[in-house]
Amino acid sequence: MSHFPLFVDLQSRHCLVIGAGPIALRKIRALLKSGTSLSVVATRACAEVQALHQRGDLHLQYASFDPKTFDFNGVYLVVAATDDHPLNKSIGEHCKQQGIHCNVASGSEAGDVVLPSIIDRSPMMIALHSGGRSPTMTRYLKRQLEAFIPRNTAKLVSWAESWRTKVKAAIDRPVVRQRFWDRLLSGIAAEHVLADRATAADSIISDRLAQAEAGQHHGEVFLVGAGPGDPELLTLKALRLIQQADVVLYDRLVSEPILSLLPVSCERIYVGKRQADHALPQDDINQTLVDLAKQGRNVLRLKGGDPFIFGRGGEEIELLAENNVAFQVVPGITAASGCASYSGIPLTHRDYSQSVRFVTGHLRSNEVNLPWPELAQEGQTLVFYMGLTGLSAICQSLIDNGREQETPAAVIERGTTPEQRVIVGNLESLPGLIESQQVKAPTLLIIGEVVALHGTLSWYKSNV
Ligand code: SAH
């Protein structure tokens, strides 16, 4: 370890920055957030530093700096950030001799202090530094962490603090207490706090404490939409919940790259569904969710697309609600949005389509029972989920009910994944085109004038 990370209270200390150009400005901005009293010495200053001086946020002195003659009395930290590297270095060396903390910009080893990259979720602070080896890597990691750590973590910190004494009184064993907190902070109570619903969170923690005192623990269920396939289309919340899952129930639509984000310790239960071959009947899935939660597990129910769009999410949570199991539903990008964007087919368009309908093409006793006269009307886009088997019947019914047979129509196969294919035709030609290709599930059928825009608006490489 080349540098030991420390967090210093600078509120009653005095800091000195030498230089007032762009590099110094970054450091000045960071230091001002700490509440320190700040002096800046420079031969010239950028407009922002001048403005900060005029506002009284810092004291700016125009002078050429000589470490040998400067009076460092009362200075706690020096930052040498001029564009003159030998000068920066000599300031660093001088401070080292005098025992004054000094940070030297531009990676010189002359200083003893590093000003790290900061993720500020005050009072929670995360500092990153690569020992000067790779500022690019530091920036990259910072971006990743910024995305992953909720903006309002501070609320979670204060909420946890407000319950600390009660939890300590109720659970004496530190190991048990730590597990209690781990579960709470990765569970629904924490989600409520982050969404400003502290009362709901308070009621959950009270229940959990009562259960803990009675020697029980109840789990929770997160019903999470995993999007259409591309892991980049997960929501931040879905990603966070995936990365902290304890046990997961997932089906065939959840892509392998998404499953690879699960922790290695997470138990995986496949409950895949194929039209005729249900790996686990829906009732059993519903019951498994309840059973796992009652065993005290925190369960992630991961579903393709959005759980509430042809996802039977409603049925799954109905049983949870009946059994008093706490749950939360997290939306995902539905196949229609994902496939449309990745194949250059806008679902609505001022000129061609004023509405869009998501329709199930699932066959019931070999027929697609739908309000065809309504669906055949012009000016709307139709998106058929589960429409591959019934494709011919769907196209024919629309033609029979008055939609032009030249109406453009497309099948998007494995949309948003590297294997995506888009097969474009019209109501009359599409069934034949599909027959001549070996099309694999999942596929989405989009019908309407907007499909014709695919040729010009498509940006994503498709395998066709
Ligand atoms: N809840 C899911 C839909 C589940 S129904 C959602 O919101 O997307 C299953 C149907 O979704 C499939 O038969 C197919 O029509 C469609 N689908 C899901 N993912 C898809 C993908 N990546 N490409 C094409 N169609 C997809």
* CATH at residue 73: 3.40.50.720
What are 108's two structure tokens?
């010189």
Q: Best mutation site among 273, 316, 385, 464 for ligand 1, i.e. most ligand atoms within 8 A of its Cβ? A: 385
What are 153's two structure tokens?
């973590």
Each residue's pLDDT tens digit, 296-319: 888 999 999 999 999 988 889 999
Residues 310 and 373 grouped into a single domain: no
**Nearest-CA residue for atom 6 of ligand 1:** 305
Residues 321 and 287 grouped into a single domain: yes
**Nearest-CA residue for atom 24 of ligand 1:** 443
Looking at the domain assignment, is residue 139 inside a domain?
no
Mean of pLDDT values over 388-409: 96
What residues have CB less than 8 Å from 452, skipping those under 6 apart?
408
Identify any residues that bridge with 305 across adjacent strands, giving them in sequence order.
227
Domain stop point among 192, 215, 238: 215
Helix or strand holding residue 356 (H, E): strand 355-360
Looking at the domain assignment, is residue 141 inside a domain?
no
Ligand 1 pocket, 334 CB below 6 A? yes
- 183, exposed or middle or buried, with CB in 10 Å at 0-12, 13-18, 19+? buried
Of 445, 453, 231, which is closest to residue 333 (Cα–Cα)? Answer: 231
* CATH at residue 450: 3.30.950.10
Ligand 1 pocket, 388 CB below 6 A? no
Q: Distance from the CA of 248 to the center of ligand 1, in angstroms?
A: 20
Q: Tokens 């998106």 — which residue?
A: 383
Ligand 1 pocket, 226 CB below 6 A? no
Looking at the domain assignment, is residue 5 inside a domain?
no
Domain stop point among 164, 182, 215: 215
Residues 325 and 355 grouped into a single domain: no
Ligand 1 pocket, 255 CB below 6 A? no
Residues 192 and 256 grouped into a single domain: no
Averaged pLDDT of the chain: 92
Looking at the domain assignment, is residue 133 inside a domain?
no
What are 320's two structure tokens?
């949870």
Alpha carbons 238 and 331: distance in angstroms, whole number = 8
Give the CA count within 13 Å in the CB-facing half-sphere of 146: 11
Looking at the domain assignment, is residue 126 inside a domain?
no
pLDDT of 273 strictly over 70: no
Residues 303 and 351 grouped into a single domain: no
Q: Is 251 a catalytic residue?
A: yes
Ligand 1 pocket, 335 CB below 6 A? yes
Domain housing 69? 14-115
Q: Distance from the CA of 291 to the center of ligand 1, in angstroms?
A: 28
Q: Using H for helix, E for strand and C for coil, what is the string for 390-455?
A: CHHHHHHHHHHCCCCCCCEEEEEECCCCCCCEEEEEECCCHHHHHHHCCCCCCEEEEECHHHHHHH
Domain stop point among 333, 362, 377: 333
**Residue 442: is the preceding peptide bond cis (ω within 30°)?**
yes
Looking at the domain assignment, is residue 420 inside a domain?
yes
Each residue's pLDDT tens digit, 200-225: 999 999 999 998 888 888 889 999 99
Residues 315 and 383 grouped into a single domain: no
φ, ψ for residue 325, nearest 5 deg: -95, 130
Residues 285 and 235 grouped into a single domain: yes
User: Left, alpha or beta for 254 (phi > 0: left; psi -120 to 50: alpha)?
Assistant: beta
φ, ψ for residue 187, nearest 5 deg: -115, -165
Q: Is 273 a catalytic residue?
A: yes
Looking at the domain assignment, is residue 125 inside a domain?
no
Count CB atoms within 10 A of the CB of residue 362.
15
Ligand 1 pocket, 304 CB below 6 A? yes
Residues 392 and 457 grouped into a single domain: yes
Each residue's pLDDT tens digit, 55-114: 999 999 999 999 999 999 999 999 999 999 999 999 999 999 999 999 998 766 788 999
Helix or strand holding residue 80 (H, E): strand 77-80
Q: Tokens 């001002």 — which residue?
A: 32
DSSP 8-class letter at 61: E
* CATH at residue 259: 3.40.1010.10
Alpha carbons 376 and 403: distance in angstroms, whole number = 5
Q: Distance from the CA of 301 to the center of ligand 1, in angstroms?
A: 16
* Annotated catalytic residue within 273, 277, 294, 400: 273
- Prediction pTM value: 0.77
Alpha carbons 441 and 417: distance in angstroms, whole number = 12
Whether residue 227 contacts residue 213, with contact meaning beta carbons closer than 8 Å, is answered with: no
Ligand 1 pocket, 385 CB below 6 A? yes
Q: Distance from the CA of 149 to the center of ligand 1, in angstroms?
A: 30
Residues 327 and 236 grouped into a single domain: yes
| Number of structural domains the chain divides into | 4
Residues 210 and 272 grouped into a single domain: no
Of 384, 398, 274, which is closest to residue 339 (Cα–Cα)? Answer: 384
Each residue's pLDDT tens digit, 119-156: 999 889 999 998 778 889 999 999 988 888 888 899 99
Mean of pLDDT values over 385-396: 94
Looking at the domain assignment, is residue 263 inside a domain?
yes
Residues 43 and 105 grouped into a single domain: yes
* Annotated catalytic residue within 251, 277, 284, 440: 251
Ligand 1 pocket, 229 CB below 6 A? yes
Alpha carbons 376 and 386: distance in angstroms, whole number = 19
Residues 227 and 205 grouped into a single domain: no
